Amino acid sequence: MVDNLIELLESFNYPVIRQGSLAPDEAYPDTFFTFWNSDESEHSAYDNDTANVDWIFQVNVYSTDPDRAYSLLDEASTLLKSAGYVIATRGYDVVSDEITHIGRGMVVMFLQNEN
């Protein structure tokens, strides 16, 4: 599932990294995605086996261009929804370590059928 998310985000041709994985002395790319898998839990079970799994991700865009941060998050939201992800928010500000970058984020969910 994580691979699928990364693959979809990479189709925008910007770096995709795990939240918190950038080294303290590493420069921010001009525009990039971060993701974080907040939860992977059993949604339902059948015959004592997991039938469906709930995935929750945080997906963020950081950019030196505020307009791009907003539009890219919107585009990512559209793409992910078309791939079956559920997104209930339009987005919210996320904190950037760098004053040069703006951050926008959203919570992305997916209900995966295990069968």
Closer residue to another protein (CB): 51 or 56: 56
Closer residue to another protein (CB): 44 or 82: 44
**Residue 104 CA to its chain's centroid (Å):** 11
Spatial contact of 60 and 82, defined as CB atoms under 8 Å apart: no
The token duo for 39 is 């939860």
- Residue numbers at the binding site for another protein (CB under 8 A): 17, 19-24, 26, 28, 32, 34, 36, 38-39, 41, 54, 56, 58, 60, 62, 66-67, 69-70, 92-97, 99, 101-103, 105, 107
Distance CA 59, CA 113 (A): 22
